[in-house]
């Protein structure tokens, strides 16, 4: 006799997934619930909670930059008998803009969400993870390995997350908690589409001098990003990789998602900076707007 999914809820423990409204986060919540976990799925809005709620998935309103939300999440975790097996730090926003042209307040917002919010969630839930020898899964990006032109702000947050993950892994390994990084390449999600919209908005707000210097570059990056998200991996494929990081008996320190991610991470290890510059420039050149007749 097979056990129904409803009867398996929580048999594998509890997992917290941030940024679960759409994309990789939502797909990960569903994949883990299917595997018998109770998933506390962080969402920003009630309508997102209603869309995600299902057997094994308990949506929680969570803005990872709000200390009160994080405190409430920690209280919710501590109040249950189901052990916390993992935290998947997935919430994030995408911003691409030239370093010179992006206002500092935009930089700070990006780091608050993509780095400091993850640190805050991890700090709050580490006591529960330490009790159960759980693990921390940080969703990074190939942008945590290579920063193409205009990817400096976003990649800066991911490079920092990679560094924090390395330090945290070495701090927690003696205490029985594993730390794993997942590095997706191009994934077709709403986050990618929102990133394109944000990049376009920021480009329209650039000064005339900035538009002269970077206008065609930004257009090429938008086209490249659109091609990557359209032809990339699916959110469900990424979710299966995250689930492997959660459930593997001896997880790898890093997982990639998609062939593009695997290739880029290999290139970053073997090519010189100048060679990588040429590869990145050639990749963007194919997406530059055609010269006017």
Residues assigned a catalytic role: 154
Rounded CA separation 194/163 (Å):
26
Q: Cα–Cα–Cα angle for 260, 248, 160, nearest 5°?
A: 50
Rounded CA separation 244/254 (Å):
11
Dihedral sign from CA coordinates of 245, 177, 78, 116:
negative
State the residue for tokens 């999914």. Answer: 5
Rg (CA), the chain: 20
Residue 39's Cβ-count burial label (10 Å; 0-12, 13-18, 19+) is buried
Please name every residue paired with 84 in a beta bridge, in sequence order, or none if there are none: 14
H-helix or E-strand containing 225? Answer: helix 208-231
Task: Confirm if 217 and 149 have CB atoms less than 8 A apart.
Answer: yes
């Amino acid at each position: 006799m097979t056990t129904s999914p409803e009867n398996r809820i929580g048999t594998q423990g509890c997992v917290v997934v941030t940024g679960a409204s759409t994309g990789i986060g939502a797909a990960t919540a569903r994949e883990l619930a299917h595997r018998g976990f109770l998933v506390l799925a962080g969402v920003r809005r009630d309508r997102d909670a209603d869309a995600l709620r299902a057997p094994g998935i308990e949506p929680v309103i969570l803005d990872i930059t709000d200390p009160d939300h994080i405190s409430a999440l920690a209280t919710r975790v501590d109040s249950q008998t189901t052990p916390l097996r993992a935290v998947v730090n997935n919430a994030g926003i995408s911003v691409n803009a030239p370093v010179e042209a992006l206002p500092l307040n935009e930089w700070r917002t990006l780091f608050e969400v993509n780095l400091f919010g993850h640190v805050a969630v991890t700090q709050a839930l580490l006591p529960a993870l330490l009790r159960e020898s759980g693990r921390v899964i940080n969703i990074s990006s190939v942008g945590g390995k290579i920063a193409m032109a205009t990817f400096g702000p976003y990649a800066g947050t991911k490079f920092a997350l990679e560094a924090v993950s390395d330090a945290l892994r070495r701090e927690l390994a003696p205490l029985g908690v594993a730390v794993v990084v997942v590095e997706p390449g191009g994934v077709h999600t709403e986050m990618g589409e929102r990133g394109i919209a944000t990049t376009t908005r920021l480009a329209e707000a650039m000064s005339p001098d900035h538009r002269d210097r970077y206008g065609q570059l930004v257009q090429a990056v938008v086209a490249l990003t659109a091609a990557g998200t359209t032809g990339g991996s699916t959110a469900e494929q990424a979710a299966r990789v995250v689930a492997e990081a959660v459930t593997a008996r001896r997880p790898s320190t890093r997982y990639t998602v998609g062939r593009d991610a695997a290739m880029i991470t290999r290139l970053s290890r073997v090519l010189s900076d100048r060679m990588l510059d040429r590869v990145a420039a050639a990749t963007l050149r194919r997406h530059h707007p055609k010269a006017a007749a």
